[in-house]
Amino acid sequence: MSKILVWDLPLRLFHWLLVMLVVVSVVSAKIGGNAMQVHMLSGYTILTLVLFRILWGFAGSTHARFASFVRGPAAVIAYLRGLTGHEAGQHLGHNPAGAWSVILMLAALLLQAATGLFANDDISTEGPLAKLVSKALSDRITGVHHLNVKLLFALIALHLSAVAFYLIHKRENLVKPMLTGFKDADNSAGDVAQKRGKTWLAAVLLAACAGGVYLLLRLPAA
């Protein structure tokens, strides 16, 4: 057994910041009122982080890249069939099923943040781009925003259930590597000479995403 760096620092920071911001978004939405300003700021930051993660999926370290873990339906089905036993094998990065969970989560978060830009609550709060569309369209987008949050909760529940399943059934702690970056792995589990993500590049991409979101929010009303 050897310790292998699987999750780079930018990916780990993204993960835990996203967890914190999702909690902030949910709590502030439940409180309402003045807390909606916090909700909106949290949403802008989530949008920035998700855009960064998409870019990091092409420019990050080996196991952060989509090409390294996204597999077709056959691989997912084969993996799920082996889960009840011990034939599923060890994956340094995301397993085939977990990979699609990541893709769905990113897509749902992107949709949630994007629809929030055009949403309104019929009281005192509306997204910064709501004035760019008609009230009727804003209302429909608001409906999608409210519906999509249910999908997000389902995906989060599935993610937490998977973490618990791996800990209890397969005796594999998935949380610790996301904190330290390292996994204890058999040398046969994969190559140890992997591409590492460049921290400076992550900072540049994050700044670019933040700048893009800022410019988006500054679009003039029609």
In contact, 82 and 51? CB cutoff 8 Å: no
In angstroms, the Cα distances linking 1 to 8, 174, 180, 190 are 20, 17, 17, 12
R_g (Cα) of the chain, nearest Å: 19
Instruction: Give pTM, 2 decimals.
Output: 0.91
CA 218 from chain center: how many Å?
25
Would you give per-residue pLDDT tens digits along the chain (222 residues)?
678 889 999 999 999 999 999 999 999 999 999 999 999 999 999 999 999 999 999 999 999 999 988 989 898 888 888 776 655 556 788 888 889 999 999 999 999 999 999 999 988 899 999 999 999 999 999 999 999 999 999 999 999 999 998 888 888 899 999 999 998 766 545 444 467 778 999 999 999 999 999 999 998 765
